[in-house]
């Protein structure tokens, strides 16, 4: 059983685009930050995402947030959009933003490992 080096007082739940997940994972491992990841799907375009659960203390929370925000960037993508009210169905590329990171920070009052 792994013992934490720091007192775990924060749980950070973060959702990143699947394209950014390897970068985020690499950065977390380089910093020695404990995490668990699992695949998820959601958002406007039902994109594939990866959800990370990160255990940390209060002092390192800002460092983890900075790491996540620099590792997972927003970018422009194009999706096929159909034009209504035309005599023939037309598909045009529509610009949309994908990527980035969604972060939830929760206080941890108590946890146990079995």
pLDDT at residue number 110: 85
At 1 the pLDDT is 38
- Is residue 62 classed as helix, strand or coil in its secondary structure? helix
Pick the CATH number of 10-107 from 2.40.50.140, 3.40.50.2000, 3.40.309.10, 3.30.70.120: 3.30.70.120
Using DSSP, state whether 36 is helix, strand or coil.
strand
Task: Parse the chain into domains and list their residue ranges.
Answer: 10-107
The predicted pLDDT at position 107 comes to 95
Kindly calculate the radius of gyration of the chain based on its CA atoms and give it in whole angstroms.
18
CA gap 101, 71 in Å, rounded: 9
d(CA 114, CA 111): 10
Give the mean pLDDT per block of 10 residues along the chain (114 residues). 66 91 92 90 73 92 93 80 75 78 92 79
d(CA 112, CA 105): 19
């Amino acid at each position: 059983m792994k013992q934490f080096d720091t007192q775990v007082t924060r749980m950070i739940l973060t959702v990143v685009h699947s394209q950014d997940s390897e970068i985020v994972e690499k950065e977390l491992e380089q910093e020695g930050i404990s995490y668990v990841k699992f695949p998820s799907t959601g958002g406007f375009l039902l994109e594939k995402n990866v959800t990370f659960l990160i255990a940390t203390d209060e002092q390192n929370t800002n460092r983890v947030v900075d790491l996540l925000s620099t590792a997972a960037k927003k970018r422009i993508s194009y999706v096929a959009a159909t034009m209504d009210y035309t005599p023939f169905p037309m598909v045009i590329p529509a610009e949309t933003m994908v990527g980035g990171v969604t972060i939830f920070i929760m206080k941890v009052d108590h946890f146990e490992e079995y």
